Chains A and B, each alone.
Chain A
Amino acid sequence: MPIRNFFSLVFRNKEAAIGFGIVFVYLAVVLVVAIAGALDLAVTPYDPLLQNVGPSLGAPSTSHLFGTDFLGRDVFSRVIWSIPNDFLVSFVVVAVALVVGCVIGAVAAFRGGLLDELLMRFTDVVFALPALVIAMVISVALGPGLTHMMIALLVIWWPPYARVARGESLIVAHQNYIEAARFAGQRTVGIIFTHVLPNISLTMLVYATLDVATVVLTYAGLSYLGLSVRPPAPDLGEMISTSQDYLISAPWLPIIPGVIIALAVVGFSLLGDGIRDALEAA
């Protein structure tokens, strides 16, 4: 399907368009912050790490849009600087899980036999791990940091991809063009790369889009438990956990980062649903 038709199909769906809009705004923020970070420019009204730029626990105002935290840091600036964390982690985790899952799934489906059995039983075992607990154990073992967080999440994240990819590959495996490729003398590895992966990629991409939302949520949870960035670096989950003690005097402190997380998740869910519906309708 030409890409332009695809977009028009997605945009005919109002909810998908809203989702796309939300994701687009977040991506713009990520891009601006990334460029600003690389060039060492100030894009936010205040330095996110600078203390006492306002009163301790100051309410939202014109000078501090989202108020100030207990150390007098500007919450708006901190929120803006922490959004890229969530997106970086989610995209990397989903992308690597997608690649690993597709390869494992396609190989398992095409080689069959013992290799299939071994790969899928291994997938089942990892799938049955209490995901959050294992991710917590790994990230405690590795220490704080975004890279460590990605590794911790990746260890438990790929199994559903492998399962979906295997199922999709099995459907592709029975198509005539695969038979044709075999008769033409193409080897299994070649077939997987030239015929199977391109054909399962659309389904996998839809799954991945919906899955970004889940990674964002899980990452926020690990961050909330203090396993993500090293303080004083800002992060949405960490901002919620550190403001927990001020629920009476400054309830906006946990509410704002929470809404920012939820909105990102809603955006990806709407977009993923929209793409899926558009593909099903096509």
Chain B
Amino acid sequence: MNLPKYILRRAAFGVFVLLSVMTITFILSHSLGGDPIYAWLGKAAGLHPELAQAYIQKYHLKDPVLVQYYYYLLSLAQGNMGYSPSRNFLPVTEVILETLPFTIQIALFAIVMSLVVGVLLGVVSARYNHTPIDTGIRAFYMTGYASPPFFVALLLLIIFTYTLGILPSGGAFDPTLTKPTWITGLPILDSLIEGNFPYFTSALLHVILPSSALALVTFGIVTRVLRSSLLEIMHANYIRTARAKGLDENTVFYKHGLRHALIPVVSLSSLIVTWLITGTIFVENVFSYPGMGRYVVQALNGQDYPGILGTTIVFALVIVGANLVADILYAVVDPQVRLG
């Protein structure tokens, strides 16, 4: 099988996965107990039966689940993901477009931080193998990896906000500042392009703690794999050859060793993405960060079916996309994969 055909097959499978995720989540979310109309309208549902009736009719709440699914697919085909009761019945697409950039913002910072810290500590740890430095680094990443993301977030909050008082406790920006206009969609980038420095500084300060919390629980994945891959490679024959021909240890380690040791790190991308998604859900809730992780918890608590579905589809899209990229990268690096 050639590469384009392989990619096409993986992509087709990705679409199949997405459709399955959608169906499974639809059925699951519609079997949430209780009458959604009370969760949606609150007291108004009891005070105004005709209003409740209108909502039940409009959203087909009393129809069988499969009929409701038919209506959902119908409107989805028109680009409408429904209306979100937990957000005053705003269109779900609108809420996602508003919250997703914030999640991307902290995820991007977290990815960069965990890669930089992860690779750096992995290298140092392997270089100083069996020394106290190595032991310290291993203890550090193991503790980070073992800590629940919300706990790390709370610890950072206690240290940097409540004890040192140098970083804000929550939110994504100072609400008194003027918001940047929509250019790339990412507020932090837009404000920089526009030269809206007060907003940029504020957004940057607000992004530090949530993304650090995420990075602290994910960097260990990188360090751990890089460390063991480096230790294994440094015993390889070609490394001995490089040493034997008189290259100094730094050249051997960085040019010959590290380059190859980084390959397994590439295959970690989908694992890291999954961890980040899980992490954002908690971290955003700790910091009241207005991203998708906060939205999904609100939607769940408010029996907001369209909201739950919309966010799950976006999360699944990210996971499927990350897997696809990892598959393709792997196939490019290792042609044997395509034959299987």
Binding site for B on A (CB under 8 A): 121, 124-125, 128-134, 136-138, 140-141, 143, 213, 217-218, 220-221, 224-225, 237, 240-241, 244, 247-248, 251, 254-255, 258, 261-263, 265-266, 269-270
Contact = CB atoms under 8 A, between A and B. Distances in A.
Contact of B148 (A136, A247, A248, A261): A261
B66 interface: no
B126 interface: no
Interface in B195-253: none
Contact of B282 (A140, A224, A265): A224
A247 B145 CA distance: 23
Given A137-B25, A244-B286, A131 B151 contact: no
Contacts of B297: 136, 225
Given A240-B151, A255-B155, A131 B278 contact: yes
B162 interface: yes
Contacts of B183: none
Contact of B150 (A141, A143, A221): A221
Contact of A261 (B142, B145, B151, B158): B151
Given A143-B33, A247-B154, 5 more contacts: A125-B17, A130-B21, A221-B278, A221-B282, A251-B158
7 contacts: A128-B323, A130-B277, A137-B312, A138-B28, A140-B301, A244-B154, A262-B147
A140 B146 CA distance: 26
B92 interface: no
Interface of B: 13, 16-17, 20-21, 24-25, 28-29, 31-33, 142-143, 145-151, 154-155, 157-158, 162, 274, 277-278, 281-282, 285-286, 296-297, 300-301, 308, 311-312, 315-316, 319-320, 323
A49 to B, nearest CB: 24
A240 B154 contact: yes
A132 B31 contact: no
Report, nearest first, the 10 A-B pairs whose CB atoms are least far apart.
A258-B151, A265-B146, A130-B315, A125-B20, A128-B17, A262-B147, A266-B146, A132-B278, A141-B32, A262-B146
A133 B312 contact: yes
A220 B277 CA distance: 16
B300 A137 contact: yes
| Most chain B Cβ neighbours within 10 Å, of A130, A141, A269 | A130
B16 to A, nearest CB: 8
Contacts of A138: 28
A134 B157 CA distance: 28
A261 B32 CA distance: 29
Contacts of A247: 154, 157-158, 162
A132 B20 CA distance: 17
Contacts of A224: 148, 150, 282
Contacts of B281: 132-133, 221
B63 to A, nearest CB: 19
A221 B157 contact: no
Given A141-B31, A141-B33, A251-B162, A217 B154 contact: no
Contacts, number: 123
A188 to B, nearest CB: 23
Contacts of A237: 148
A136 B300 contact: yes
Contacts of A134: 24-25, 28, 312
Contacts of A129: 21, 24-25, 316
A269 B300 CA distance: 32
Contacts of B323: 128
Given A129-B24, A221-B150, A258-B151, A140 B300 contact: yes
Contacts of A130: 21, 277, 312, 315-316, 319
Given A130-B277, A133-B296, A125 B21 contact: yes
A263 B147 CA distance: 8
Contacts of B16: 121, 125
B137 to A, nearest CB: 14
A152 B274 CA distance: 18
Nearest to B148: A220
Contact of B143 (A141, A244, A251, A262): A262
A273 to B, nearest CB: 9
A89 B300 CA distance: 22
A262 B315 CA distance: 26
A47 B296 CA distance: 36
A137 B151 contact: no
Given A125-B17, A141-B28, A269-B145, A254 B151 contact: yes
Contacts of A262: 143, 146-148, 151
Contacts of B319: 128, 130
A131 B301 CA distance: 18
A131 B143 CA distance: 23
Contacts of A136: 296-297, 300
B171 to A, nearest CB: 16
Contacts of A266: 142-143, 146
B316 A128 contact: yes
